[in-house]
Structure 1
Amino acid sequence: MYKYATCILSIFALWNFWVASAKKQDSSTGTNELPKEPVPYYTIENIENHQQHWFTYNSLRQNGTLWRLGNMEQRLAMRMHAFQSQMDTLLRSLRQQFEPYVENIRMSNKIKMSVFKKIGSRHFYFEQQKKMSWDSAYDTCRQMGGHLANILDEKELNEIFTEQKKNYWVDINSRPSDGGSWTSTLSGRDATFLKWKPNLPENIHRHCVYVNANEMYFENCGNDHYYACQAEQWA
């Protein structure tokens, strides 16, 4: 009986000690309430806030990407436009260079070879009946499918004109102004060969060339002379 009483007293003492300790702990923290449970981080409110942030971020990133793409597209368009302009200029230049050759090929198909005489390595025609201006002579040779004679060197000059005793227009002129270079309309370049008559007067308004007695003279293009044509469409 004494044992039981001792146990009950011990339990009662421990209980009082525990209650006193709990009260002391509560008074030290300034509250008698039990600590609250921690709030979970991923609540509906937090998820909604983060979702709005994600939408805003994605929208800004998309707008930035679209701006960069638009800027790249604009630069590519400008480069393509510049490239197209360069190609158009190049094509115009090539067309201008090749058009004379195409025209010469087309005209060569109209040549009346029966009226041309072979002299040296080429074929020539000498008008003996009708005089005309340099421009009219040029047009007449073209209508025949030929071209005003273009003299390549002194050997050819002597071969072609040794038996000819008249004045014959040839394919050399210095148009459009005094002091210009003497060029060939067939090649578009400076004449490859010139043999002027010695002691010619000063060249004023005389832009076209004729040959007489194997020598060259400059003359007013509107004056009338005979003319020499060549069948070959090359200088």
Structure 2
Amino acid sequence: MRRSEWNPCGGGVVLLLLLLLAGGWSLAWAYLPDVNIFTNYRTEVYNGIPSEIDTTPFVRIADNYYYIETMNKVNWFQAAGACRMMNAHLASIEDKAEMEALIKYMKAKGFKNNDYFWISGNDLGTEGAFYWLSNGRPMTYAPWNGPKQMPDNYGGNENCVHMFATREMINDANCKIQMLYVCEAREPKTFKFTYIKW
């Protein structure tokens, strides 16, 4: 088969695409055998998503991207699985600023204090040692709920963590309880290709 006969796209076939990333930009060269020319593209790489791109069902809150499940209550394990199906993970709220931004958003959306949401904290590995499922790090920021010592592992089976919609607090609960949940996706990179005429 001659090179010019292989054309599954019906037009110019890109045989070689080379991206040379350097300093946040790159050049992409495409060889198009049908017209036997080289085409030059400038590629710009950005952290995050430009505001004109729709990220539904995820919303940007501060510097993070979240999906907040508002209808279907599930147990903690099902919530973790649902997030993974969206190429995300249960949220890991690792500092006060992140918690404040999320609570502010939830209040603005009309959530109530008795709306509970699973997040990724748990002590399923070792009782009393809470870690974030999403990244394996210890929960160093942990504003536990209640006047008494928390987490209390009430009933001997509270191993998963949930947050309150309108209070900057978390609580341990039985992983089998049905709750709403919050997924978090890492900040993506986006690319912009610009054609450069010769």
TM-score, normalization by structure 1: 0.48
Cα offset, 1:145, TM superposition: 1.1
Deviation at 1:144, TM superposition (A): 0.8
Residue 195 of structure 1 aligns with which residue? 143
Residues of 2 paired with 1:133 and 1:226: CA distance? Answer: 8
Deviation at 1:150, TM superposition (A): 0.6
Shift of 1:233: 7.3
How many angstroms apart in 2 are the aligned matches of 1:233 and 1:187?
Answer: 15
State the match for 1:225 in structure 2: 179
**What is the distance in 2 between the residues matched to 1:120 and 1:176?**
31
CA contact (8 A) 2:64 2:187 kept: no
Q: Does 2:160 correspond to 1:208? A: yes
Pick one of 111, 130, 135 that aligns with 2:72: 130
Distance in 2 between residues matched to 1:171 and 1:129, nearest whole Å: 19
Q: Percent identity?
A: 26
Question: C-alpha offsets along residues 71-128 of structure 1, whole Å, 9 cap, x if unaligned?
Answer: xxxxxxxxxxxxxxxxxxxxxxxxxxxxxxxxxxxxxxxxx93200000001111100
- Greater Rg over alpha carbons, structure: 1
Shift of 1:152: 1.7
More strand by share: 2
* C-alpha deviation, 1:192, in angstroms: 3.1
1:160 aligned to 2:102? yes
DSSP-derived class of the 1:115 partner = coil
Equivalent residues in 2 for 1:2-21, closer than 5 Å: none
Check if 1:182 corresponds to 2:130: yes
Q: Is 1:172 the equivalent of 2:121? A: yes
Q: Is contact 2:89–2:183 with CA below 8 Å preserved after alignment?
A: yes
Gaps of at least 5 residues in structure 1 are 1-111
CA RMSD across the alignment = 2.0
Write the letter of the residue equivalent to 1:218.
Answer: D
- CA deviation profile, 1:123-181 (whole Å, cap 9, x unmatched): 1111000100000000000001111011121111011023243100001000145x330
* Matching residue's letter, 1:167: Y
* Residue 194 (structure 1) shift: 0.5
| Equivalent position SS for 1:114 | coil
CA contact (8 A) 2:91 2:134 kept: no
AA aligned to 1:121 is D
Distance 1:142 1:170 in 2: 13
Q: Secondary structure at the match of 2:81?
A: helix
Unaligned runs of 5+ in 2: 1-53, 189-198
CA distance in 1, matches of 2:65, 2:135: 18
SS of the equivalent of 1:211 reads: strand
Distance 1:141 1:233, change over 3 A: farther
Deviation, structure 1 residue 199: 2.7
Native 8 Å contact 1:117 1:123 kept in 2:
yes
The structure with higher relative contact order (CA 8 Å, sep 6+) is: 2
